[in-house]
Amino acid sequence: MHWIQQDVTLEAKERGFHLVTREVMRAVDLSDIETGVAHFFLQHTSAAITLNENASPDVRGDFERHFRRMVPEDAHYEHTIEGPDDMPAHLKASLLGSGLSVPIRDGGLLLGTWQGLYLCEHRERGGPRTLVVTAFGQ
């Protein structure tokens, strides 16, 4: 069994849904794993990681518009110490999640044809984000 664990710092991105598959995979070498699993864990409470459409940027825009309507900033939250986008960002991050697992085959992620890793940035100025990648297999 071969184990890899690596922190990947994703550069700061504007609020929205960002395809980060290439950025993450440039930083993590899975070539020693023929068959296994990679787990991705985002160490933040106001951003999320998810898997979805990797081709059309329209999908990412639709996600952002949907989540802005679903979790509005003007809902009179009590937790506003870091600004009006803070509590909505926490709610969106909880809805989407901080982790996901993807199979590995022949040293690469076994993603579907149209699948990619998204960083879901829910803050106007979230800053760099840390993603912990833990992979294991044979």
Sheet of strand 129-137: strand arrangement: 2-10, 129-137, 35-42, 99-105, 108-109
Averaged confidence pLDDT in the chain? 97
Q: What is the pLDDT of residue 109?
A: 98
- Pick from 27, 135, 46, 20: which is nearest to 98 by CA? 46
Per-residue pLDDT tens for 122-131?
999 999 999 9
Total of domains in the chain:
1
CATH of the domain at 8: 2.60.120.460
- How do 115-121 and 47-53 pair as beta strands? antiparallel
Residues of the domain holding 94: 2-137
Which residues does the chain have with pLDDT short of 50?
none
